[in-house]
Amino acid sequence: MKIKIDIDPQHEETPVITIQVKEWTDEVEAVVKMLRQHESEMPDAKGAAQPKRIVALEEDRSILLQPSEIDYIFAEKRKVFAMAGGRTLEMRMKLYELEEVLSSHGFIRFSKSVLGNLDQVDRFELSFNGNLCVYFKSGSKEYVTRKYVHGLKEQLLDGGGQRDE
């Protein structure tokens, strides 16, 4: 692996990292994962650090979840829930707030009421109505509506689920 660094005062303030490879490899994936991990620990544009954990409720207890533990998040009857490890946990944040916070952790909109974690996806199956059925590593499944299928395909084809460019 070659590493080239170009320091020039004329470059924009935000660093840009370009990886040039012939094909996607485990080594490239490890580098990208490391960069994303570092990015998620950095403060955002407002100066707030990206959360490493999210608070969920189970019965009367508050539970700290790593974003990587969550398969998908969904809204139902004006409440927001997360599916994690086969458990349904209530979230205190609104769906659009979670989408904003978790986009750097591999979450993408599956439908108007569902966010999915691309890092937990096992496989996809096309449904007869044009929707995409997503199977997660945990065995649970959710659907990507036709409106969001194109965005999901593009994100997957642009490097295996790239986040926040």
Q: Which residue type, as a one-letter code, is found at position 17?
A: I
Between CA 95 and CA 76 the distance in angstroms is: 10
* CB contact set of 145 (below 8 Å; sequence gap of 6+): 110, 111, 112, 131
**Sign of the torsion angle spanned by Cα atoms 150, 151, 152, 153:** positive
Question: What percent of the chain is modeled with pLDDT above 70?
Answer: 86
Between CA 66 and CA 64 the distance in angstroms is: 7
Res 163: pLDDT:
47
Q: What is the mean pLDDT of the chain?
A: 83
Query: Taking 80 as the threshold, does the pLDDT of residue 64 lie above it?
Result: yes
Res 162: pLDDT:
43
| Residue found under tokens 């904003």 | 100
The model's confidence at residue 78, banded by pLDDT at 50, 70 and 90, is very high
